[in-house]
Structure 1
């Protein structure tokens, strides 16, 4: 018998927490009850006796796509009781989550996967990695500090400025969260041990939030939780401040944003990977995904393709895509399509992490034309990135 899927009521949150604790091996001490968290919808799967068999959470996020905000479903906390695994519980949960996300207006979905196979079977596809690196602090470059830049310790009063700097740097990229969800709300205390600011006059041009860790021996680690810079000078200055920790924290640990100003100053050839998290992408609603995001202003073109989505039937059909003047439109078509794209293939193209030819080689695109390259129109723009784990 198929389980019953419904929105998780508040009285079942302790059971959901316990299921998550057992699945992910988290702290056995339950957090204090605070009521249903804002900005999320939790789903539960139940057997006939009302026992919770599985859960999944839809975080009501937004993502930046070339200057436009795209409503997103960040899928988190997917857990199924060991006795119920392999029985379709996860599929039922994620189908319900997609339908709920669609009803509330989401366009795309992202998740971090501990295993990719089940999610690929449901239309998500691997589109990148979030990498946390360890670097020897002693090898970090130290440059003379420019006279026009000021370095100081930040306080909670400076947190809104760091939020503004993040938006300035994230909004022209693709896939990064807007950090407007309630879980990112700044409080009256720093969320880390220290905050280092780099300013040019009254303008914040770089910051690093860090946790000191324990000890000062060979195993000591300085963990940078968040670091961004708007200029190369600000990035060099921040890296120089981090280098000054070399005598008491031999290892610097940080999550990098590939291609940003900070990464350009790091000796990445000396880095060791501490951790990597695979992230996957999926459309929730094709039309919203295409029409709500920004597109390169110079791009013009049109292509027709067919797509079948077994989990989100509103996406199934033949579509005409037209892109011009920084905008795109997707309309249902009555034409015969030579390009048949899978949902996973759409995710790879939309995130600019694949081309039509590579998707055809992978079996994610079937075509009857000699060259499927017209569909590369969907892959325009910089590749999508992730910086925040959930």
Structure 2
């Protein structure tokens, strides 16, 4: 194949070929679902074509927003990356991701997250490992039981409750870092139904204070599993009530499977010391536009400081240069300055610091931060809690 890969947005005429490419890459069912070849609002599909016009690679930019300390940051989350076997190791993926980043930058995205099947190609393009989405198994009988609180009501939810569920999710997510807003675009479904098999609600005086969505699974023997897609609460009492309901499944579902959210009201009620990891998915992060990534997010109100640094980003040249970071009063700004800075940061190091995945000294030890200055000055870029995701895409 010629070395040149021509990257452009896919049209409706390209979607059949894109579906076939994805089917072979991910081992999907050969029976094509009805919407597979239909345009979808809230995403941009990119394709790489060889000199004959054959589609040899594809990637999808998901137009998500992510919560970062109380503010919604526009993201270009990446999914569905696939390259034809005959075109692999020829720069197709790099060309695709470069094209996707340019398009995302033009539409105003600030950051990007993806789940890799293999990390090396994305690392070579500026993404870096920043966290893990993990599902764990717990013995259902080990969940703590308690006397139900008289002021709380537990009931099954219906589709009429989904707006309240969304609002509670936002109460939990918006002051964390990295979690999807689940607003607009791909999340706007007029015919939205209940997630999974069941929705359990906990209310206090008619107000939703906790919920769990779950899938019953099959059977009732020793290998039966109750999968909890999400369990969130905004009070300790509601969390205890939810955990008690989930524990009541012990006689017919000996294993409870869920994705814990670090430090939230439900997770601290669970016996996580006895959890067994069922599945883990590494996620990676990078900036699309460093200046917007800094200005669009929230910052800890107590954090103040100024630091200059140089940044190198071979795939997104608009990020390369010397920058001054100033943080104060819960906001920050990144402005270009003349000359060279004592500290020089690789874009992957920026990603680690921004996501709270590493401190500056560790980034320097990893070879992603250089210079004669004190590396800990760039801990300013990592102020705030580590990012975490609850959504797989």
TM-score (norm: length of structure 1): 0.98
The CA distance in 2 between the partners of 1:47 and 1:366, in whole Å, is 39
- Do the aligned partners of 1:60 and 1:181 also contact (CA within 8 Å) in 2? no
Residue 168 of structure 2 corresponds to residue 176 of structure 1: no
State the alpha-carbon separation in 2 of the partners of residues 24 and 257 from structure 1: 28
State the distance in 2 between where 1:19 and 1:283 align: 28
Q: How big is the shift at 1:26?
A: 2.1
Corresponding residue number in structure 2 for 1:89: 92
2:113 to 94, 97, 110: 110
Task: Identify the match of residue 355 of structure 2 among 351, 354, 375.
Answer: 351
Distance in structure 1 (CA, Å) of the matches to 2:338 and 2:5: 38
Aligned counterpart, 1:364: 368
Counterpart position of 1:62: 65
Q: Name the structure 2 match of 1:238.
A: 242
Q: How does 1:128-167 map to 2 (within 5 A)?
A: 128-167=131-170
Q: 1:202 aligns with which of 169, 181, 206?
A: 206
After the TM superposition, which of the residue ranges 176-185 and 298-307 deviates more from structure 2?
Answer: 176-185
Partner of 1:375: 378
Which residue in 2 is equivalent to 1:9? 11
- Determine the C-alpha separation between the residues in 1 that align with 2:186 and 2:331: 31
Deviations 1:352-387 (Å, cap 9, x if unpaired)?
111111011010100212x21111110101111111
Cα drift, residue 189 of structure 1? 2.4
Shift of 1:188: 4.6
Matched, 1:300 2:304: yes
Pairwise mapping of residues 210-225 of structure 1 onto structure 2 (< 5 A)? 210-225=214-229
> Which of 276, 283, 293 is equivalent to 1:279?
283
Measured against aligned partners, the alpha-carbon deviations of 1:65-106 in whole angstroms (never above 9, x if no partner) come to 111110000100001111111000000000000000000000
- Structure 1 runs of 4+ off > 3 angstroms? 185-188
- 1:42 paired residue number: 45
Instruction: Please say if 1:251 is aligned against 2:222.
Output: no
d(CA) in 2 for partners of 1:90, 1:366: 28
Q: Deviations over 1:157-189 (max 9, x none)?
A: 001100000111111001100001433335352
Q: Residue 318 of structure 2: SS of its match in structure 1?
A: helix
Q: Partners of 1:11 and 1:288 in 2: how far apart?
A: 34
User: CA RMSD of the aligned region, Å?
Assistant: 1.1
